[in-house]
Amino acid sequence: MAGSALKRLMAEYKQLTLNPPEGIIAGPVNEENFFEWEALIMGPEGTWFEGGIFPARLTFPTDYPLSPPKMKFTCEIFHPNIYPDGRVCISILHAPGDDPMGYETSAERWSPVQSVEKILLSVVSMLAEPNDESAANVDAAKTWREDRQKFQEIAQRTVRKSLGL
């Protein structure tokens, strides 16, 4: 199984290098291990995170693409859909099948037709439009809902930190 996962990851890496999505750089940490990737995601224009450069890690299971990777930001980022430890919580990264909580449809969850590029583009969309209904970071969701000014201040502090300022 790891052999087909490796082939798939190598193909996706090639595609990302030939046609990288705007504002995203991603690839294996080193070419000895295609199951650990790093990514740099630029904060989307016109959002609270504009101008930031946010590093993240993707860890792929040996049965990829049957199972989704795990994604974690390796910098501080205050967002309703990112756990305080950096783990990303979006539907596309949830195991395939029905949601035991009944919140997501199986079509929203992981399926083998997804790709690294689709994951990263989903994360960019998530940065632009948080889902405060399904919060990984309750404080960020509460701030997003109740005090947008404070949320903006914290997000802009995060942007400056991401740039080492």
- Residues classed as catalytic: 89
Q: List C-alpha distances in Å: 137 to 42, 55, 141, 150.
A: 21, 19, 6, 15
Q: Tell me how far apart the alpha carbons of residues 100 and 157 are, in angstroms, rounded to a whole number.
A: 36
Question: Which positions ≥6 away from 15 have C-beta within 8 Å?
Answer: 115, 117
**Which of these, 74, 97, 94, lies nearest to 86 by C-alpha position?**
74
120/136 Cα distance (integer angstroms): 18
Q: In degrees rounded to 5, what are phi and psi of residue 24?
A: -135, 130
